[in-house]
């Protein structure tokens, strides 16, 4: 980690006050994964020192089309903190966001940790305590979402908030790959998709997360929440929007974007 990484990390932290910053091209090459994760780690440690608690991770860029758009061949991850969770059926104050978008996902809560750098989807399945419908509210501290791979990684995977259905299901018998997703905004369908959008199966995305974090010496722990990636297009939010995600066979969750 360099002085440049520290400066970029501070630039991103300051942007949370509400003013998005220019893309980070002056400090990070668009595909500089090592530098971008160094910046993300600096801010993760900063926020932990302030008392924020890590409750899990999110996988991003799990759709091949989005990877192609950003010129990379791999997903990315961000850290989920306890204060990012919005209650199912609750509200998110627009004053807390800059340029948010919602996407529907399948989430897992782990019953046991996944310390193995060679974790397989089968091992993930055995570790899952419950499966939940989820909505991730992504946001970017980069102006106008003009992001490269390095921008989004440095910016904690463009993460902001998440909603988890209160009711989870055991994994056994669920069709994660074929689960149809429908996300509505103010009662009108705004996004549709299927479980296979997340690297072919959300368990594949979770296995990638487990492998990657183990290699970094930060293995997934029992109780961690994993957001396995968007199942369909994300939708920009306008104050007053009521958002609901329905994932067939898995569940429903919702929130309202208002003060």
Task: For residues 172 and 105, give the distance between their C-alpha atoms in angstroms, rounded to a whole number.
Answer: 18
User: In the chain, what are the domain boundaries?
Assistant: 3-257
- pLDDT (tens digit per residue) in 201-258: 999 999 999 999 999 999 999 999 999 999 999 999 999 999 999 999 999 999 999 9
Collapse the DSSP code of 33 into the 3-class scheme (helix H, G, I; strand E, B; otherwise coil) and give the result: helix
Per-residue pLDDT of the chain (259 residues; tens, 9 = 90+): 788 999 999 999 999 997 999 999 999 999 999 999 999 999 999 999 999 999 999 999 999 888 888 888 999 999 999 999 999 999 999 999 999 999 999 999 999 999 999 999 999 999 999 999 999 999 999 999 999 999 999 999 999 999 999 999 999 999 999 999 999 999 999 999 999 999 999 999 999 999 999 999 999 999 999 999 999 999 999 999 999 999 999 999 999 999 9
Contacts 24+ apart (CB under 8 A), 2-9: 2/38, 5/35, 5/38, 5/39, 5/42, 6/42, 8/39, 8/154, 9/39, 9/42, 9/43, 9/46, 9/154
Residue 130's pLDDT is: 98
Domain 3-257 has CATH 3.10.129.10: no
Joined together, the tokens standing for residue 199 give 């690297």
Q: Do residues 245 and 137 lie in contact, with contact meaning Cβ atoms separated by under 8 Å?
A: no
- pLDDT (tens digit per residue) in 26-43: 999 999 999 999 999 999
């Amino acid at each position: 980690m360099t002085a440049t990484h520290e400066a970029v990390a501070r630039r991103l932290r300051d942007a949370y006050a509400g003013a998005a910053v220019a893309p980070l091209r002056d400090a990070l090459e668009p595909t500089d994964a090592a530098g971008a994760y160094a910046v993300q780690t600096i801010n993760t440690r900063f926020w932990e020192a302030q008392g924020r608690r890590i409750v899990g991770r999110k996988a991003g860029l799990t759709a091949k089309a989005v990877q192609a758009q950003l010129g990379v061949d791999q997903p990315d991850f961000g850290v989920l903190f306890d204060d990012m969770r919005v209650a199912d059926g609750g509200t998110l104050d627009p004053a807390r966001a800059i340029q948010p978008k919602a996407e529907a996902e399948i989430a897992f809560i782990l019953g046991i940790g996944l310390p193995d750098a060679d974790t397989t989807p089968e091992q993930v399945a055995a570790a899952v305590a419950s499966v939940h419908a989820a909505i991730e509210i992504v946001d970017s501290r980069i102006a106008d979402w003009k992001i490269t791979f390095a921008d989004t990684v440095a910016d904690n995977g463009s993460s902001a908030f998440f909603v988890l259905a209160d009711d989870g299901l055991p994994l056994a018998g669920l069709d994660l790959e074929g689960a149809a997703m429908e996300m509505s905004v103010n009662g009108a369908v705004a996004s549709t998709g299927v479980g296979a959008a997340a690297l072919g199966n959300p368990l594949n995305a979770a296995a990638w997360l487990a492998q990657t974090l183990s290699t970094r010496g930060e293995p997934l722990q029992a109780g961690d929440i994993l957001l396995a990636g968007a199942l369909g297009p994300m939708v920009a939010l306008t104050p007053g929007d009521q958002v609901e995600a329905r994932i067939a066979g898995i569940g429903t969750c919702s929130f309202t974007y208002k003060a």
